[in-house]
Amino acid sequence: MSNPSGGEGLFAALRNLVATVVAIGRTRLELLGTELQEEKVRLLSALVSGVGALFLLGLGIVLGVACLAAAFWEHRVFILGGFAGVSLGVAIYLVFQAKRLISQPTNLFHSSLAELDADLARLRHEIRDRK
């Protein structure tokens, strides 16, 4: 039996609205989890590549300086001191570069936030249409 005042229809509409909100929330949480997983894989790949590159670069520089020092044995103090100064200068530059990159905001959850904003706009539009 249906209520002439439309109470049953109101509760059904409310249940449908809650079910829709829960389904949207679940989808957005899944999207958020996927974005977190992608970001983790990207960061780990960058870290492994960076560490490998830094190790090989350091090894190459040490071997290069050793070869130069052996080739110009009389000027080894100037060669070693010059490379030490250049290395310290580059290290200081890289520290400031890393600080700048860390202080910049990231767009980690950009897709999730955009989808949530679109969902919120659609829900507000539906609520306005029902009034």
Question: CA-CA distance, 79 to 76, in Å (whole number)?
Answer: 5
**Domain range summary for the chain, segments of one domain joined by +:** 7-130
- pTM more than 0.75: no
- What does the pLDDT average to over 23-52? 88
Question: CA-CA distance, 117 to 109, in Å (whole number)?
Answer: 12
Residue 19 binned pLDDT confidence (cut-offs 50, 70, 90): confident
Residue 93 binned pLDDT confidence (cut-offs 50, 70, 90): very high
Residue 5 binned pLDDT confidence (cut-offs 50, 70, 90): low
N residues, the chain? 131
Q: Which 3 state secondary structure label does DSSP give 34?
A: helix
- In the predicted model, what is the mean pLDDT of the chain? 83
